[in-house]
Structure 1
Amino acid sequence: MLLWAYAVWFSRRFPTALASHGKSSDYRWRRSAEEEMEEESDGEGAMVPFMDFTNHRSGTQIVWSADDTHVTFTAGETGVAAGEEVFNNYGDKSNEDLLLIHGFALLDNIYDTYGLWLSVQVSEEPPARRPAKKRRAAVKTQRIGPFLLRRADDRWDQFPAELWLALSSATGTATEEATHLTVEPEHLRSLASLLQQRLEDFTSTQGRDRHFAAGGKAEGGEVDPRIRYIARYRDGQRQVLEDCSKALEEMLSQLPAETGAPEVPEAPDVPEAERAGPT
């Protein structure tokens, strides 16, 4: 019962700001679907009976607002026609978030992400400062991530800036003053090879995943919705990896014959030890 209660709260809570408890009489709060409402969801959250029955649809225009006496959900300019379902907008969530938090997944979700973890070699001090017999023992493997890879779309970068910093060489241009980072070609090729390996796990079941994800039936009749949602999740992971693999292939094809290191956009600060190639 405790697990059930936690799941209900976690999947149905709204931003804490919707609750007027303890607020002054002039309290006002308003957020639209186009804004980042997730920031308001930290903490306890607010339960809003009836409105938590509304299903999610990407792109739905809706405004959430509250004052000291009311909670209001307002449809966008197009409104809702008579007889149509009233949708909410849970935000631009990936299928992983939707599946683990709300229990469903969308077909061809453009907001899908793939969480990539890297195993990199790190050391506690520069090799030159260590005795020769201890240099090899001082090198350790560390797992870093996840780096969220995304579908190809003009609205965002497919590869997070933190990934480029992790892959940049220690002798590159990864400084606070730098506008670009230098990623060695072999690191880029290693990343491309790693994504291809991960992709194989999903291409082997692509036909089956796509069949169930699109609403296909099993030989025995209807498919359990949970199977359909898992298929949509797997199909989305495949699409992200395919898009990112194509992008890496294009980057590698544009390298000069003498394999100069490609430059990528500047990334935020990451510990120096994390700059290494993937294994």
Structure 2
Amino acid sequence: MQGWRQVRVEVDATAVDAISGALWGAGVAGIEECPVGSGARCALLAAVPADRLDAVVEAVSEFDPVAADLDPEAGLDTWKRHAHPVEAGPFVVEPAWWAPAATSAAPGVGACGGVGTDLRHLRIDPGRSFGSGSHVTTRLMLEAVGRFTRPGSRVLDVGCGSGVLSVAAAVSGASEVRAVDLDPHAVEATIANARRNGVGARIDCDDASLEHVRGVFDLVLANIGASVLVDLAGPLAARVAPGGRLVLSGMLDEQVDQVAAAHADAFPDGAERRGRDGWGLMVLCRPAPSPSLSGSPVGERG
């Protein structure tokens, strides 16, 4: 069985989001936030698979991280005590272990957050994978899923983690969602969350590599880190249907230009860029088919 470690870093409370992002990006499985003293500082306790320890320590080395052994059954899920619903675009991501309030909607439907504001509720348990909905890149991706998923869309979720993006696409009307992740914990979590939200029949998830995925998709999603987005530029582009979109995140603001350059040949029209709290997102569009020789018009890409 894989060993686990706990990495503790103490930071100013104002830096919690940024440092948590660095920890998630380095491969932690869960984070507990513990206020220190008056609350001006915060201790972050991160549960780390043993094979990711060096990367995690390096990611926060300037904060003098302290590593110790961790019993996953005793400590890995302690962060769940502090989890809360997260709103992103047209979605509310709710911790699956919360008892729904009397006014809470069923998964995938409902209204909350104000009169006239319809939000789709997703109940998610990330298990040992990434994707509780709290990280800024997940929220950026969820906003994009809400913008670009159409009834009948075919969607590919690369590095699906908890499956939160796949579930969001399915409850938004996607007729078929293909989700892949090399981590078996992610596959397990995605299948469970798809069933939990009533969309298990429309989400096909396994541990296939991107190179083994066949077909093209109207919307391709990848929230997996800058270096991987660069390495997979060709295979990702090959999975985008004419007129389709590729949405990328998991990169810091200073890495966006590098990722954009890697995808420039396949997407000559450039990219729509968005950023938040030091993290970036890009939307790239595959040109729609040219008009036929008969002069028939090409439908709008939307």
**Structure showing the higher helix proportion among its residues:** 1
Query: Which one has a bigger Cα radius of gyration?
Result: 1
TM-score bracket relative to the smaller structure: under 0.3
**Structure showing the higher strand proportion among its residues:** 2
Q: Between the two structures, name the one with larger relative contact order (CA 8 Å, sep ≥ 6).
A: 1
- TM-score normalised per structure 2: 0.25
